[in-house]
Amino acid sequence: MPRSTKKPLSNTKDAITSRKQRARKAEEDERLRLENESLRSKILNLDGELSDLRKRLEKETKKTEELQQCIIKMQEQIISELRKKQNDDRSLQSHYPNGHRYPFTAYGGNSGNTNGNNTNDNGGNPINDVFIGDNNSSDDFIRELLNLNNNDNNNSSGGSSGTSY
């Protein structure tokens, strides 16, 4: 049998091309492996940051809920105090002649509330304060204040004629 006339595979053009392809593939695999490790590291860092943000959000949510509860309690206390004051004022009115709110002085009497606004110690300016809370409780609170204001308007009386008692 005659000997093969083929050159050894290592010297052929195909062998050189094959080695280059394997080298390129090995380089690409290494690059992808390093990129993959880098991405895993970034994912772990982001996961840690996300966990920290969740904890912070929980704390802030808890604080917000506590503040809302505090605001609601304060609103309820203010309404209670306003009702008490309104009832005290009505009780006081019944003790003075003609339903006047304040006792008369020796200098001609109290002017009373002649402008029809909310009767208060400063001469009848309506309540204009804004209270902050969640929408429902704030609306209810403002409605309650307006209701108290309207009740006070309905019960207000004019000033005295200046007669002292």
pLDDT for 94: 62
* Cα–Cα distance measured from residue 97 to residue 162, given in angstroms and rounded to the nearest whole number: 12
What tens digit of pLDDT does each residue of 123-133 get? 443 444 444 44
What tens digit of pLDDT does each residue of 48-75 get? 999 999 999 999 999 999 999 999 999 9
CA distances from 137 to 78, 83, 142, 146, 149 (A): 13, 18, 9, 14, 18
Distance between the two ends of the chain, CA-based, in angstroms? Answer: 150
- Which amino acid, 54? R
* Cα–Cα distance measured from residue 149 to residue 157, given in angstroms and rounded to the nearest whole number: 14
What tens digit of pLDDT does each residue of 77-113 get? 999 999 898 888 777 666 555 555 555 444 444 444 4
Q: pLDDT-derived band of residue 37, with 50, 70 and 90 as boundaries? A: very high
At 143, list the tokens: 């409605």
Please list, in sequence order, all residues whose beta carbon lies within 8 angstroms of the beta carbon of residue 129, skipping any fewer than 6 positions away: none
Q: Across the chain, what does the average pLDDT equal?
A: 72
Q: Tokens 């409780």 correspond to what residue? A: 137
**% of the chain surpassing 70 pLDDT:** 50
DSSP state of 126: P
